Amino acid sequence: MKKLLLLLAAVGLLQFLSIVYYDTKMLDRPVPVAGLIDFTDHSIRFSYITNSSAPHTVHFLELNGNTYYPNEPFSMFAESGQVEHLAKYRYYSVVSAEIPLFTEEEIQPFDQPVQGTIHFMDGATAPIRLTAYSYEETPQLQSLSFSIGSHGTAELYKALVPFTVNRLTIADDRVDVLQFKINGEDMPLPLTSPLHLNKDDKIWIETSDGIARYKMEPFQLELQIAEGQQDGIITLSRLLNIMPSEDWVTRQVKESGEQ
Amino acid sequence: MNFHKMILIGLLLQFFDFWIGGFDILPDTIGLLLIGYAFTQVKAPYAKLGIGATVPLVLAAFAEIFEPALFTSSAGLLLQIAAASVQLLTIVQIACIFTVSNYIVQYEASLFPTVWIGLLVMMELLTAIGRHLNVQTYEHTVYALSFLLLSLYLYFFYFLWERKKKETALVKERARTN
């Protein structure tokens, strides 16, 4: 018994040190990551970094003086205030929240990012920068097949009209174009000369993947084209699929100054 | 009522919760009070330590009547320390139950107390260290160990039941001898 009591005293001391150390890692306020207002899906999606052991839960989002309440998974057995982890690590988790918009007119489309305020259940608040997103129709292209996964994204298109591609760019430094093929033939990137496409030509674009800062975060590929005498841009949307790593999450926390 | 019977009923009251209208009609406090009372009824080594370990557990269980799940690892710093203390005191209490039980049944050999206490200490060590390691590995290990502990907890009831029968037989034998 005496040996056991000594062992328990040692375990108790270890637990005390463990609890105190863990507590020093805890965030008083969540760290907002990123968000967007999806005008196609009629929803607001955003994420924040919080403590893994006792995550902050969103009460509502304040935007332009209006309040928006998050979607909670409905279940008779679900506890109120459940959070959906995008990634969960030792000390911190990335929580992805979604707020449905019930009417198209609820928020007017905008060009520049807007700032909202996330209000948490415990009274903490955090500013969040929201960008606008809407899916753009591509009358020049028809999607024939696509694949998506943690390896990257790939999609095969068919040209519906003749046009010339002047440039292919991705406005996101997390992702690179891996392959750009026309009718099965590899094209050098950046393009050395404009590419003329005829109707029914096949275009294959394969990209690498990048860290998704919230669930269903899109990135966009832009094809700068000339169609007849008109210049234009074809915007292709895809999703990022890589879960934020622990190092990435810890770096965000350090950069925020919360730790 | 003999020692083992009181301990057995006390542990069963702790094990089962019957919630009616948001209130546990079988609060752990009653079970713990019975365990504490059982320790006061025997003159055996470490019975007093058993009482000493049970008193704070009664107070903690009483506090949880008004604030369920008060002592969890996700609570504030002081409550986390209190939660860890509750777990360690529970191990001390169980060790005292085994020591007193061994004394009553005249040191009947059994490996179970060592295994049971060893696993409980391992669980505490895992909680202390594991939360600083990979979260998935930690959670899976905790689930696996919890399942093992639950199985052994059920065996603990059987163990006490057998000891209760033995204690009853010993008391009858002593009465006959006297």
Mind spelling out the 3-state secondary structure of A155-193? EEEEECCCEEEEEEEECCCCCCEEEEEECCEECCCCCCC
Identify from B89, B115, B135 which residue to disrupt to test chain A contact, counting A C-beta atoms within 10 A and taking the largest count. B135
The structure tokens listed for A159 are: 């040209």
B95 vs A contacts (CB less than 8 Å): 1, 4
Phi/psi at A200 (nearest 5 deg)?
75, 0
| Dihedral of alpha carbons B69, B70, B71, B75, sign | positive
Residue A74 has pLDDT above 60, yes or no: no
Side chain identity, residue A212: A
CB-nearest to B121 from A11, A18, A90 is A11
Question: What pLDDT does residue A82 have?
Answer: 57
* H or E stretch at B99: helix B77-104
> In this predicted model, what pLDDT tens digit does every residue of A177-205 receive, in sequence order?
999 999 988 988 888 888 899 999 999 99
- Residue B73 is predicted with a pLDDT of 65
| Predicted pLDDT of residue A78 | 46
Q: Is the pLDDT of residue B28 over 50?
A: yes
Query: At which residue do the structure tokens 């093992």 appear?
Result: B148
**Residue A214: closest CA among A51, A57, A49:** A49
Q: Between these two residues, A73 and A29, which has the higher pLDDT value?
A: A29
* Closest to A116 measured CA to CA, from A102, A132, A103: A132
Confidence of residue A83 (pLDDT cuts 50, 70, 90): low
Pick the range with the lowest mean pLDDT from A70-84, A239-253, B40-54, B110-124.
Answer: A70-84
Min Cα separation A143/chain B (Å): 38
Q: Does B77 touch chain A (CB under 8 A)?
A: yes
Which among A1, A18, A89 has the least Cβ separation from residue B128? Answer: A18
pLDDT reading at B70 higher than 80? no
**% of chain B with per-residue pLDDT over 90:** 54
Chain A residues contacting B, CB < 8 Å? 1, 4-5, 7-8, 11-12, 14-16, 18-23, 52-54, 88-90
Q: A22 and B132: CB-CB below 8 Å?
A: yes
At A238, list the tokens. 């895809």
CB A89 to CB B135 under 8 A? yes
- Per-residue pLDDT band for B20 (boundaries 50, 70, 90) equals confident
Q: How many CB atoms lie within 10 A of CB B62?
A: 14
How far apart, in whole angstroms, are the C-alpha atoms of residue A166 and residue B96? 82
Instruction: Report how far apart the first and last C-alpha atoms of chain B are (Å, whole number).
Output: 20
pTM higher than 0.90: no
pLDDT tens-digit profile of B79-90? Answer: 889 999 999 999
Q: Which residues contact B22 (CB under 8 A, 6 or more apart)?
A: none
Q: Do the Cβ atoms of B128 and A23 come within 8 Å?
A: no
B91 touches A: beta carbon within 8 Å? yes
Q: Inter-chain contact A90–B81, Cβ cutoff 8 Å?
A: no
Residues of chain A with C-beta less than 8 angstroms from the C-beta of B99: 1
Size of interface A-B (CB pairs under 8 A): 62
Amino acid at A193: S
Question: What pLDDT does A136 receive?
Answer: 84
Kindly determine whether residue B128 and residue A15, on different chains, have CB atoms separated by under 8 Å. yes
* Dihedral angle, C-alpha B140, B146, B151, B152, nearest 10 °: 130
Q: Does B125 touch chain A (CB under 8 A)?
A: yes
Residues A109 and A16: their CA atoms lie apart, in Å, by 52
ipTM of the assembly? 0.86
